[in-house]
Amino acid sequence: AACLLGTAQAQTFPDKPITMLVPFAAGGPTDVVARMIAIPMGKALGQTVLVENAAGAGGTIAATKTARSAPNGYTIFLHHMGMSTAPALYKKLTFDPLKDFDYIGQVVDVPMTLLARKDLPANTLPELLSYIKANREKVTLANAGLGAVSHLCGLLFMSAIDTDLNTIPYKGTGPAMNDLLGGQVDLLCDQTTQTVPMIKEGRVKVFGVTTLKRLGALPNVPTLDEQGLKGFEVKVWHGMYAPKGTPPEVLKQLNAALRTALADPAVVKRLNELSSDVPPQDKITPEGLRTHLEAEINKWGPVIRKAGIYAD
Ligand code: MLT
């Protein structure tokens, strides 16, 4: 009966709009990726894919909402590697990344950049480090909360320069960027999906990229590694999920739509302009995402527990 039901559903799926939950505020990097792929995914499925921001608690609110949604294909979820750090970061996690979801595929890999407000009086990384040294008590570093990659990148930076800064949490780096542009906060480590246009327009100061090689979109911006922060490397992977129990035929359609979206020339061009990469084909699969997620949980768990960072 389950099999028959699955087939019947697949034949009519989708007969209404699909909601893509995004775990951070509108306008930020995850939202940018979601909106970029929602349109071609919708075209491939013959239905609208609506993006809904369920921001807060480092992405765990939207993950919980997804896990508790009806497993019928009408709720899908885009999240980044925060899905793999959450089990160690949150003592009372209300979902299990390995038990409460079905997997659609990996989505994009996105580098990060270290930024400062435009009027911060430093132009190079050494000048920034001197400024931080002289003003340690008052320098502020924005992030999108525990489980956000901006938080993770900020932790790596503070550890690399052996200095604790005042961190300010937001519901996404969209609003954090607004405050950086307005000069209300000093520093932000954020993904190129949001930062490349800001950097090119000269609206923020940039001190380095978080990859070991320079980025095509920002050839004049040095890596943090080449400037002496040896081994400083963060690249943010993303995955697309559905609630556990989504019919296999429906998952297959969603995966096919995701693949179509990621091969869309306009999407490929835009991702290229933002120095972000489509993962290899074998990763844009349920197995590819599940395997990577599990490996990442096993990688980050011990590191986070050793550092003793978590929410009660
Ligand atoms: C966002 O979309 O706001 C960011 O991905 C949040 C983060 O830094 O993880």
Separation of 312 CA from ligand 1 center, angstroms? 21
Residue nearest to atom 9 of ligand 1 (CA): 148
pLDDT tens digits for range 192-241: 999 999 999 999 999 999 999 999 999 999 999 999 999 999 999 999 99
What pLDDT was estimated at residue 5?
56
Atom of ligand 1 nearest to the CA of 148: 9
Kindly provide the ipTM of the predicted complex, given to two decimals: 0.98
Pocket probe mutation, ligand 1, options 36, 80, 143, 189, max atoms within 8 Å of Cβ: 80
Q: What is the C-alpha to C-alpha distance for residues 122 and 295, in angstroms, rounded to an integer?
A: 39
Q: What tens digit of pLDDT does each residue of 114-166 get?
A: 999 999 999 999 999 999 999 999 999 999 999 899 999 999 999 999 999 99
Q: What is the reported pLDDT for 10?
A: 54
Ligand 1 center to 34 CA (angstroms): 12
Mean pLDDT in residue range 28-50: 98
CB under 8 Å to 107, separation ≥6 — which residues? Answer: 33, 37, 78, 238, 239, 240, 258, 262, 279, 284
pLDDT-above-70 percentage for the chain: 96
311 confidence band (pLDDT: 50, 70, 90): confident
- For residue 29, the model assigns a pLDDT of 98
- Nearest Cα neighbor of 198 from 117, 141, 109 is 117
pLDDT, residue 136, reads: 94
Q: Label residue 108 exposed, middle or buried (CB < 10 Å: 0-12, 13-18, 19+).
A: buried
Residue 1 has pLDDT above 60, yes or no: no
DSSP for the chain reads: -HHHHHHHHHHH--SS-EEEEESS-TTSHHHHHHHHHHHHHHHHHTS-EEEEE---GGGHHHHHHHHTS-SSSSEEEEEETHHHHHHHHBTT-SS-TTTSEEEEEEEEEEEEEEEEETTSS--SHHHHHHHHHHTTTT-EEEES-TT-HHHHHHHHHHHHTT---EEEE-SSHHHHHHHHHTTSS-EEEEEHHHHHHHHHTTSEEEEEESSSS-BTTBTTSPBTGGGT-TT---EEEEEEEEETT--HHHHHHHHHHHHHHHH-HHHHHHHHHTT-BPPPGGGSSHHHHHHHHHHHHHHHHHHHHHHT--B-
**Average pLDDT value for the chain:** 95
Q: Average of pLDDT values for 5-15? A: 71
Looking at residue 85, its pLDDT comes to: 96
Q: How confident is the model at residue 309 (pLDDT cuts 50, 70, 90)?
A: confident
Q: Which residues have any ligand 1 atom within 6 Å of their CB? A: 24-25, 28-31, 80, 82, 144, 148-150, 172-174, 191
Question: pLDDT, tens digit, for every residue of 251-268?
Answer: 999 999 999 999 999 999
pLDDT at position 6, please? 53
**pLDDT band at residue 44 under the 50/70/90 scheme:** very high
pTM of structure: 0.94
Residue 153's pLDDT is 97
